[in-house]
Amino acid sequence: MVHKPTERVLNILNLLSINHEGLTLTEISDAIDIPKSTLYPIMQTMLERNFVSLEKNSLKYSIGISAFCIGASYSRNKYMLDFIQKIMKNIVSSIDETCQMGVLDGNNVLYILKEDPIKDMDIRLISYIGKRIPAYCTALGKALLSEYSIEEIKLLYPDGLKPITKNTITDFSILEDQLKEIKETHVSTEVEEVTEFLRCYAVPLASKGKISAAISISIPTFRATEEKNKLAIELLLKAKKQIDAVDLD
C-alpha cells in the first residue's frame, strides 16, 4: 500500500533531480498532478529543511543541499561496498570458500554481500543477499552482537534463543561467554548452528569505534582442517584491519 504523502515528496525530488534549471510551483503542480494548495506546504517544509532551494527572482525550485548530502552519502557507501567486495573476492581466491558480509537488522543478520568460489558448492548455504537469520546463531551475528551486554541481548530475544539445528546455542550464559571472547580476539565462530556440516568464522567491522558490519568465511566441516581454519582467521583479521582503516562512514 502506497503512502500518498511520502509518494508526493519522492515524486517532487525525482522531478527536480531531472530538471536542473528548476521548476516553479505551478510547473511542479502540473507535472505530478498535485493541487498547488496541497503542494505549497510540502515545498515550504522541504525548503526549511534544505531539501529544495528557491531562486527568488525566477521563483523556481531546485534540489537543495540536504538532498545533495544524501546523494553524496550514497556514493560514499557504494564506494565502501565496492572496496569491501574487492577484499572479499581476494579472500575467496585465497581460501576457495564462501565469504559474506552482514549488518544487524533488529535481532537478525541481514546479508548484504556474498562472494562464492568458482567451484560448485558442496553444501548449499541457507543465506543469500537479502536473507535475514537470527544473529545469535551465526558467526556474523555474534560478531555484530559482541559489543552488546547480555541484558541488551535478552531484550532482543524476549522469547529466548530458539534452536535451528541440534547445535544451536540456546543458553544465554554460553552466548555471553562467547561474546566476551570475541571482544578479546575479534573473531567469532559458529559450528553447525544454522547449517549442518558447516563451520563459519567472522570478524566485526568498526566505524568510529562502533561495530557497523561483519564479514565471514564459511567452510564445510570436512574441509575445515587446522590449516584452513587458521588461514580463514588470518584472512579475516587482515581484511578487518584494511576495512577499519578506511572507515565505513
pLDDT, tens digit, 9 for 90 and up, residues 138-165? 999 999 999 999 999 999 999 999 999 9
The residue segments making up the domain with residue 50 are 4-63
Q: Are residues 120 and 175 in the same domain?
A: yes
DSSP letters along 222-243, please? GG--HHHHHHHHHHHHHHHHHH
- Using DSSP's 3-state secondary structure scheme, residue 214 falls into strand
2 CB-side CA count, 13 A: 8
Alpha helices in the chain (DSSP H): 4-17, 25-32, 36-48, 65-95, 139-145, 150-156, 172-185, 226-246
* 70 in any annotated domain: no
Q: Are residues 123 and 28 in the same domain?
A: no
pLDDT digits (tens, 9 = 90+) for 35-53: 999 999 999 999 988 899 9
Q: State mean pLDDT over 3-20.
A: 88
Length in residues, the chain: 249
CATH, residue 10: 1.10.10.10
Q: Are residues 91 and 153 in the same domain?
A: yes
Q: Are residues 55 and 81 in the same domain?
A: no
132 CB-side CA count, 13 A: 5
- How many angstroms separate the CA atoms of 17 and 68, rounded? 10
Q: Are residues 21 and 112 in the same domain?
A: no
pLDDT digits (tens, 9 = 90+) for 206-232: 987 889 899 999 999 999 999 999 999
Q: Are residues 56 and 21 in the same domain?
A: yes
* Number of domains, the chain: 2
Q: Are residues 12 and 96 in the same domain?
A: no
pLDDT digits (tens, 9 = 90+) for 21-38: 899 999 999 999 999 999
Q: Are residues 48 and 100 in the same domain?
A: no
Instruction: Tell me the residue type at 62.
Output: S
- For cell 558467526, the residue is 139
Q: What integer pLDDT is reported at residue 246 of this predicted model?
A: 80
* 72 in any annotated domain: no
* 200 in any annotated domain: yes
- Average predicted confidence (pLDDT) for the chain: 90
Q: Quickly state the pLDDT bin for 75 (edges 50, 70, 90).
A: low
* 199 in any annotated domain: yes
The percent helix, strand, coil of the chain (3-state, each to 5) is 50, 20, 30
What percentage of the chain exceeds 70 in pLDDT?
Answer: 94
- How many angstroms separate the CA atoms of 72 and 241, rounded? 25
Picking from 38, 63, 88, the residue at the C-terminal end of a domain is 63
Q: Are residues 153 and 240 in the same domain?
A: yes
Give the count of beta carbons closer than 10 Å to the beta carbon of residue 167.
14
- How many angstroms separate the CA atoms of 76 and 160, rounded? 38
Q: Are residues 25 and 59 in the same domain?
A: yes
Q: Are residues 39 and 150 in the same domain?
A: no
- How many angstroms separate the CA atoms of 19 and 193, rounded? 53
pTM of the entire structure? 0.72
* 35 in any annotated domain: yes
Res 78 pLDDT > 60? yes
Cβ-proximal residues to 123 (8 Å cutoff; 6+ apart), any chain: 195, 197, 198, 220
* 69 in any annotated domain: no
Q: Are residues 100 and 179 in the same domain?
A: yes
* 52 in any annotated domain: yes
* 71 in any annotated domain: no
